[in-house]
Amino acid sequence: MNIFSEHDIRKIMRWLGWFAVIVLMVGVVRGRSSIGAYFKLKDSARKLDVAVAVLESENREMQQEIERINSSKSYARKVLRDKYHVTDSDEKIIFFTE
């Protein structure tokens, strides 16, 4: 008293399999964990890696600058004068107007 023949059952199983494949493919393309989201995350990770490398390079340069300032009083004075416009006690600043 089977309602379905073996051929019908295989046909139904084949359709169910294809439906499952289609649902999975739609999920991969449009779902929360889609391929597009994956590539966006990979691009974001790459940008962050570049930013970290730049910051590490700047950090090394700052450490070298600190070492130069700590090791040489004349260099420290030069940095103060050039970068921060600090003058010695015997120096005066003269402003010219046009």
Whether residue 1 has pLDDT greater than 60: no
Whether residue 19 has pLDDT greater than 60: yes
Report the distance separating Cα 75 and Cα 59, nearest Å.
20
pLDDT (0 to 100) of residue 70:
94
Q: What is the mean pLDDT of residues 31-53?
A: 89
Report the distance separating Cα 69 and Cα 73, nearest Å.
7
pLDDT (0 to 100) of residue 55:
98
- Provide φ and ψ at 32, rounded to 5°: -65, -35
Report the distance separating Cα 90 and Cα 88, nearest Å.
5
How many whole angstroms from its chain centre is CA 57?
Answer: 16
DSSP classification of residue 32: T
Q: What is the mean pLDDT of residues 50-76?
A: 95
